[in-house]
Amino acid sequence: MRRKVAIVGTGHSIYGVRNDVNLPELAYESIKEAVDEAKIGLDDIDLVVVGNVGGWSSEYLPAIVINEYADLAGKSTFRIEAACATGSAAIKTAVDAIASGEADIALVVGVEKMNESLTPVVVEFIGRSGNYFWEFQNFGLTFPGYYALYATYYMFNYGVKEEDLCLIAVKNHHYASMNPKAHFQRKITVDECMKSRYIAWPLKLYDSCPISDGSASIILASEEIATKITDTPIWIEAIGSASDTSNITRRKDFTGLYAARKAASEAYKKARLDPGEITRHLDLAEVHDCFTIAEIMAYEDLGFAKRGEGVKLIREGQTYIGGLIPVNLSGGLKAKGHPIAATGVGMAVEIARQLWNKIERGRQAPIKNGRGLAHNVGGTGHYAYVTIYSLTKPRG
């Protein structure tokens, strides 16, 4: 029988261009916060799961380098990679280890130092995140290019305009401006967004997440330990995970991400939530808005809106606080930033702190259901994780 698992400590570095720290220093910023918050000793940690994609950064064995720096050498450890969903994959791995009884307390660290390489090199690395031989080698697809293929299809099918996409950027910059950990601290307007240059038509600079450095950490513990550490553990209620084809051409349609729909369906089933009324069960969601179109597709893949109607939610302001469901109150990948492997762990940190009512004024969601959702996509829907976090201990 699986044991129940909860978050008992959270840590989050400032995201941005962090040339002021190297990889282990950056990781340690969030590790220290998480360990201190959980009030545990380093010797209490059984397992360290490090999420890091790398390639653009110099350390080839990031888990080993980080553990030595944090005086955790000797622990069971490894590095996890699931593209931009690495953080969630790392969380799932640690949750499974605790649930199975292999570990009691685990540290999950997601960290990325993207700015160790210059932008064209980073564009090259991320562009290879599809099928290298058939899509990159001959056709030079970029990561924005992949999402742009979805955006074009979506816009022609559902009559969505570039201005609609910019509404997502405006919302997420709005909330990032209140988040001291966010890469971007400035609000923007639709007009500014529309005037920004194209990166991969129809997506513009302001439709795109930045190239960020950052780290996020959580301490996970078994039920027995979690309830001793804190009165308000954040329970991992359910994790749904799925994948899709490497070649984008082998996808059946381009209106949404199959893997995200499958992961959501699995998570809702495990948590026994009604997929038709999902927003009624949640207080907030952090979704994978690496590009503005991705947030609109996420609304639909998660069941917040019907297919083709996701854009209505942002047009009507339904994903701001006070609307149907607040989405990306952290600023999202778009404006909080997207240090690839930190992202999924950063979502967990944000949701835990939201549920604890510990968020800055202006971006704290009203907590009524005690439940938040993280939607973390790797590649262009190559991987997807939907994780439900709750103040209430899961049944069963």
What positions carry a catalytic annotation?
84, 338
Smaller CB separation from another protein, 131 or 265: 131
- Whole-number minimum distance, CB 206 to another protein, in Å? 13
Q: Is the dihedral of CA 48, 385, 14, 282 positive or negative?
A: negative
Q: Which one of the spans 94-102, 119-127, 158-166, 361-369 is the region binding another protein (CB under 8 A)?
A: 119-127
- Whole-number minimum distance, CB 72 to another protein, in Å? 25
Strand partners, 79: 50
Q: Which one of the spans 63-71, 122-130, 225-233, 375-383 is the region binding another protein (CB under 8 A)?
A: 122-130
Q: Which amino acid is at 105?
A: I
User: Does 380 participate in binding another protein (rule CB under 8 A)?
Assistant: no
Strand partners, 242: 384
Q: Which one of the spans 94-102, 192-200, 225-233, 370-378 is the region binding another protein (CB under 8 A)?
A: 192-200
User: Does 148 participate in binding another protein (rule CB under 8 A)?
Assistant: yes
Task: Pick the closest to residue 279 from 344, 152, 362, 365 (CA basis).
Answer: 365
Smaller CB separation from another protein, 61 or 118: 118
Asked whether 376 and 255 are in contact (CB, 8 A), the reply is no
User: Does 197 participate in binding another protein (rule CB under 8 A)?
Assistant: yes
User: Does 123 participate in binding another protein (rule CB under 8 A)?
Assistant: yes
Q: What is the dihedral of CA 274, 367, 14, 210, to 10 degrees?
A: 40
Asked whether 203 and 293 are in contact (CB, 8 A), the reply is yes
Taking the C-alpha atoms of residue 54 and residue 247, their distance in angstroms, rounded to an integer, is 22
Q: Which one of the spans 70-78, 150-158, 172-180, 379-387 is the region binding another protein (CB under 8 A)?
A: 150-158
Size of the site for another protein (CB under 8 A): 42
User: Which of the residues 55 through 74 are near another protein (CB under 8 A)?
Assistant: 58
Asked whether 333 and 289 are in contact (CB, 8 A), the reply is yes
* Among 37, 112, 135, 207, interactor with another protein by CB under 8 A: 135
- Whole-number minimum distance, CB 208 to another protein, in Å? 9
Residues 6+ apart with CB under 8 A from 394: 4, 235, 236, 237, 238, 271
Task: Pick the closest to residue 344 from 52, 18, 144 (CA basis).
Answer: 52
User: Does 78 participate in binding another protein (rule CB under 8 A)?
Assistant: no
- Whole-number minimum distance, CB 378 to another protein, in Å? 19
User: Does 112 participate in binding another protein (rule CB under 8 A)?
Assistant: no
Largest CA distance in the chain: 57
10 Å Cβ neighbour count for 326?
24
Asked whether 257 and 374 are in contact (CB, 8 A), the reply is no
- How is residue 4 annotated by DSSP? P
Quick one: angle between helices 143-158 and 119-127, nearest 10? 60
Smaller CB separation from another protein, 152 or 227: 152
Give the phi and the psi of residue 113 in degrees, each rounded to 5.
-120, 85
User: Which of the residues 241 through 270 are near another protein (CB under 8 A)?
Assistant: 247-251, 254
User: Does 368 participate in binding another protein (rule CB under 8 A)?
Assistant: no
User: Does 144 participate in binding another protein (rule CB under 8 A)?
Assistant: yes
User: Which of the residues 8 through 37 are near another protein (CB under 8 A)?
Assistant: 19-20
* Among 86, 142, 318, 343, interactor with another protein by CB under 8 A: 142
Q: Which residues bind another protein (CB under 8 A)?
A: 19-20, 58, 118, 120-121, 123-124, 127, 131, 133-136, 138-142, 144-145, 148-153, 156-157, 197-203, 247-251, 254
